[in-house]
Structure 1
Amino acid sequence: MNDLGPPSTPVLPHSVAWLGYGGLLPFVGLALALLADPGHGLLWQQALLAYGAVILSFVGALHWAFAMLLPGLTPAQAQGRYVWSVVPALLAWPAVLLPPGAAVPLLVAGFVAHYLQDRALAARAALPGWYLPLRLRLTSVASLALLAALLAPSR
């Protein structure tokens, strides 16, 4: 049985919920660590930004899979998904090298842009009904946690 169900399935599968929301734990935990332990703020900040970059790269790969597997995409639409799928990694990579004041907006913009790409894809392809609401929640929490990285001491 396919855990994802047919494209019209509105119910979020348990395994997807556990994995998706579980992936937020480092975001939330590191943001809380920044607030609770300012003495190690630079370490928590660096860890949070690195995790954000890794996850932004990961979500980009979703569109590579969509390009390969979604029925009904035209060749041009599939090509667009392949191209987009590498953009998040190209945004995430310099973010780990930039100062937080530049890295945070870059990562947050990458997550928001990816969500907008998800919405555009959902308008022309059959995605599960739970996908966009889940992506919005994950994007929102990840972005808010990344914004907390700006609260770290600047020593």
Structure 2
Amino acid sequence: MVPEAPSTRALKGPGRLRSSSGVGWDGDDMGRAVMAYSGSDNSKGTQTMAASNDLHGQMPLMRILGFGGLVPFYALSIAVLFSQDANLRNLAFVGLSVYAVAILAFLGAVHWGFAMTAPDLSADLRKKLLVFGVLPALVGCSLFFLPGGYRLLGLALAYGAVFVFDSTHYQSLGLPQDWLRLRSQLTTGAVLALVGPGSLAIA
């Protein structure tokens, strides 16, 4: 005679079990439990998809704001490259450096927002986002003390590094392809605005 498992024992009636705590489960109960469990996973996926769709709907505004943010880059860069006034060139160079550091810090801070609000992230990825989020500000402030053109070229490299990080993780964050395309365009624009004056200052 085979001994009965200690956790459950059969009850009268097909397909019905009783747990060791005395709670009865039939096939319908178990089916509902499985559906509830799988439904929680589906709800997370639905939330991720809804967030991605909402962000996709905000892309026109993001493009306006993003490309608008390039205006100071190019206004200051043009002043450095073409102004005949030495004082204005120096002022524009400092202004370009300060603005580039500020935007670099902003790009890092965005990752804290991702870490705190994006659903379904692993603990390791959240930690990575939090740590990476402070690095651009620290790097930017450090680069600010480099002499002349090396400062701007270093900032250009930092912008590229942030983009590489974002392009590696954007799918895990549930971000749409349009977001990455916009990031690519804005990063390219900022880098070009920094490389010109930076190269001229070194030459």
Unpaired stretches in structure 2, ≥5 consecutive residues: 1-49
Of the three residues 59, 66, 86, the one matched with 2:114 is 66
Percentage of identical aligned residues: 33
Equivalent residue for 2:182, pick from 120, 134, 138: 134
If you compute each CA radius of gyration, which structure gives the higher value, 1 or 2? Answer: 2
TM-score (ref. length: structure 1): 0.87
Is the aligned partner of 1:35 residue 2:78? Answer: no
Structure 1 residue 153, shift from structure 2 partner: 8.8
| Off by >6 Å, runs of 4+ in structure 1 | none
- Correspondences of 1:1-155 after superposition (within 5 Å): 6-8=51-53, 10=56, 13-39=59-85, 40-150=88-198, 151-152=200-201
The whole-number CA distance in structure 2 between the counterparts of 1:145 and 1:12 is 26
**Two-structure CA RMSD over aligned residues (Å):** 2.0
Contact 1:12 / 1:130 at 8 angstroms: preserved in 2?
no
For residue 152 of structure 1, report the CA deviation from its aligned partner. Answer: 4.6
CA contact (8 A) 2:59 2:179 kept: no
Per the TM alignment, residue 105 of structure 1 is displaced from its structure 2 partner at its CA by 2.5
Aligned length: 150
TM-score under structure 2 normalisation?
Answer: 0.68
Distance 1:38 1:72 in 2: 55
Q: How far is 1:11 from its partner? A: 5.9
Question: Partners of 1:97 and 1:128 in 2: how far apart?
Answer: 37
Deviation, structure 1 residue 143: 0.6
Unaligned runs of 5+ in 1: none
CA distance in 1, matches of 2:181, 2:58: 9
